[in-house]
Amino acid sequence: MHTETSLDRGAKTVVLGVTGSIAAYKAAEIVSLLRKAGHEVFVVMTRSAAEFITPLTLATLSRHPVLSDLSEENGEEWKPGHIELADRADLLLVAPATANSLARLSYGLADDALSAVALATRAPVLVAPAMNGKMWEHSATQENVERLRARGVKFIGPADGMLACGYEGAGRLAEPADIVLRAVEMLSA
C-alpha cells in the first residue's frame, strides 16, 4: 500500500552543488532540511568536496546517487546525467561555494559536473559562499560575485564569525536553516 508523502504533493527539485570547503559537512543538514520541507534533492559534488564529506552520506540523505564525475554519470538512455539534472532543477543551490567555484561559475567554465550543470540549467541559482575572509574580500572574488549577480544569481551570506582558518570576520557559511529558508522562498516565487 502506498502512503502519500510530502514528496508526492508537487515537490520541487533542488540540485545542491557542494564544493571543497571545510563547511561541506553542513551540506548534510541542508539536504535533510530540504527533504523535510518536502523537496526532492539531487547532489552534485566537486572532487575536492569529497575530501570533506563522503558522497555516500549525501546519497543516503538525498535518496539519490551523487554526481561527482562527468565520466561516471548515468543519465536517461541517451541524455547525459548533468543535462538531465540541469533540466530537472527548479533551483540550483551551491552551498558551500568556494572562491574557486565562484570564479568557475562566473567565467562559465564547464569541465566538472557542478559547473556543467550550472552552465546548462535555466533554473534560478542561489549561492552560499564559504571561505577565508581575505579571499571573500579580494577584488577578484568580488568581481566574480558582481558578474554572477548581474546574471541574476542570488546570494545568501557569507556570515561573520570565527572561521576555520582561525581568523574572525566575513566568510562563514550562512546557517543551513537560513539557506534552506531562502531556497524555499525562491522555490515558492
Pick the catalytic residue from 165, 167, 168, 185.
165
pLDDT at 10: 56
Q: Is residue 4 part of a domain?
A: no
**Angle (deg, nearest 10), helices 81-88 and 113-120:** 50
Q: Is residue 41 part of a domain?
A: yes
pTM for the predicted model, two decimal places: 0.90
pLDDT at 161: 78
Q: Is residue 2 part of a domain?
A: no
b/e 39-67 (16+ beta carbons within 10 angstroms → b): bbbbbbbbebbbebbebeebbebbeeebb
Q: Is residue 167 part of a domain?
A: yes
Question: Has 165 been annotated as catalytic?
Answer: yes
Give the bridge partners for 159, in sequence order. Answer: 172
Distance CA(125)–CA(106), nearest Å, equals 12
CATH number at 152 reads: 3.40.50.1950
Task: Give the count of domains, the chain.
Answer: 1
Q: Is residue 94 part of a domain?
A: yes
Q: Average pLDDT of each block of 10 consecutive residues along the chain (189 residues)? A: 42 96 97 97 96 97 92 59 91 98 97 95 98 94 98 94 72 95 95
Q: Is residue 6 part of a domain?
A: no
pLDDT at 6: 41
Which residues constitute the domain of residue 155?
11-188
Q: Is residue 1 part of a domain?
A: no
Closest CA relative to residue 76, chosen from 60, 87, 90, 92: 87
Q: Is residue 44 part of a domain?
A: yes
Query: How many Å from the N-terminal Cα to the C-terminal Cα in the chain?
Result: 34
